């Protein structure tokens, strides 16, 4: 159902407040450069620090920006409270989102039966497609292959974002679930490996700053252009690595600030990228040539 390059959007802040003007710029940058979908208010969007009014505004702006463009909005609505997750998922539906991205409950560390009951409760309460999000490095609990496959039997659970770094799970799940169930990499550096194992795309952090290149990477695989696919993999890999030298999204927000998309401001308990992380991002930019290309494109548009 979902495939290709889907960007997990950063949420821009200025002086502690949501920056709507910068978010408009971010949305336009994604649409103009070929993203196949967007995820507002995911982990990269610092969802745990956003209040309800901000989340509603971000959902509304995202839906309005892609209206008529056939680019799905997969709204981040998960939390460690089932009741809150239901309410946020209902909000996403009311705002016109195409699906909800819902993370395994963090901190609580539910059992596999608890995970199943959590997602089934949301599924039964709100008629919207659901993308499961398995990221044990952040939640402290890993959803098993059996639980994913069990949940995939429910009609509106249509995809999985998997950030376990275990690519064997992709093949194991694909061999057991219904046709059309999508598996999306949650790790930019493993996006190619996910595709090779039968996956369908990537929910990406790197595409905040390189949407065209990340979309071209996915398109090259779909077209069977392995030479282009491998060349883009090599070009993007330094960025994939640099953007995770510290807790995301601090490095990618610094990178976005270099492109003039937004400030590098994050909300506590996160802090801005350290000097060492900034240097790593700068080196990755230099290796990829992205800054030079973006500057040249700006000159062509405004020269």
Does residue 131 form part of some domain? yes
Mean pLDDT of 63-72: 92
Q: Would you state the pLDDT for residue 200?
A: 98
Domain extent, residue 95, equals 4-226
Catalytic residue among 67, 93, 106, 133: 133
The reply to whether 133 falls in a domain is yes
pLDDT digits (tens, 9 = 90+) for 238-250: 999 999 999 999 9
Write the CATH number for 155.
Answer: 3.20.20.70
What does the pLDDT look like over 100-126, one tens digit per residue? Answer: 999 999 999 999 999 999 999 999 999
Q: Is residue 248 part of a domain?
A: no
Residue 268 resides in a domain: no
The answer to whether residue 233 is domain-embedded is no
pLDDT tens digit sequence for 175-228: 999 899 999 999 999 999 999 999 999 999 999 999 999 999 999 999 999 999
Domain contains 70: yes
Question: With 50 as the cut, is the pLDDT of residue 303 above it?
Answer: no
Q: What is the pLDDT of residue 210?
A: 97
For the chain, the average pLDDT equals 94
Q: Is residue 96 part of a domain?
A: yes
Local confidence band at 16 (pLDDT 50, 70, 90 cut-offs): very high
Helical pair 226-242 and 250-258, crossing angle rounded to 10 deg: 110
Whether 133 is catalytic is yes
Structural domains counted in the chain: 1
Residue from 93, 161, 174, 253 carrying the catalytic annotation: 161
Q: What would the pLDDT profile of 265-297 be if each residue is shown by its tens digit?
A: 999 999 999 999 999 999 999 998 876 555 545
Is residue 106 among the annotated active site residues?
Answer: no
User: Length of the chain in residues, anyone?
Assistant: 303
Percentage of residues in the chain having pLDDT higher than 90? 92
pLDDT for 290 equals 75
Any domain includes 292: no
């Amino acid at each position: 159902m979902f495939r290709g390059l889907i960007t997990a959007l950063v949420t821009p802040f200025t002086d502690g407040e949501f920056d709507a003007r910068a978010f408009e710029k971010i949305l336009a940058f994604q649409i103009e450069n070929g993203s196949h979908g967007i995820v507002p208010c995911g982990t990269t969007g610092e969802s745990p620090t956003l209040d309800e009014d901000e989340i509603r505004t971000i959902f509304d702006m995202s839906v309005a920006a892609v209206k008529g463009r056939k680019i799905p909005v997969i709204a981040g609505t998960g939390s460690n409270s089932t009741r809150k997750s239901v309410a946020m998922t209902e909000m996403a539906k009311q705002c016109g989102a195409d699906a909800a991205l819902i993370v395994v409950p963090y901190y609580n560390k539910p059992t596999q039966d608890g995970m199943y009951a959590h997602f089934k409760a949301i599924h039964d309460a709100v008629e919207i497609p659901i993308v499961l999000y398995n990221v044990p490095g952040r939640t402290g609990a890993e959803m098993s292959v059996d639980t994913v496959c069990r949940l995939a039997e429910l009609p509106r659970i249509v995809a999985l974002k998997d950030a376990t770094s275990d690519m064997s799970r992709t093949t194991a799940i694909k061999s057991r679930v219904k046709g059309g169930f999508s598996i999306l990499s949650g790790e930019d550096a493993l996006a190619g490996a996910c595709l090779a194992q039968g996956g369908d795309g990537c929910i990406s952090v790197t595409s905040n700053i390189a949407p065209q290149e990340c979309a071209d990477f996915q398109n090259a695989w779909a077209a069977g252009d392995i030479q282009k696919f491998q060349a883009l993999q090599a070009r993007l890999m330094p960025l994939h690595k640099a953007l995770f030298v510290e807790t995301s999204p601090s490095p990618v927000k610094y990178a976005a600030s270099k492109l003039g998309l937004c400030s590098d401001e994050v909300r506590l308990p996160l802090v801005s990228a350290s000097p060492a992380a900034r240097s790593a991002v700068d080196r990755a930019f230099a290796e990829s040539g992205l800054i030079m290309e973006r500057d040249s494109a700006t000159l062509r548009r405004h020269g």
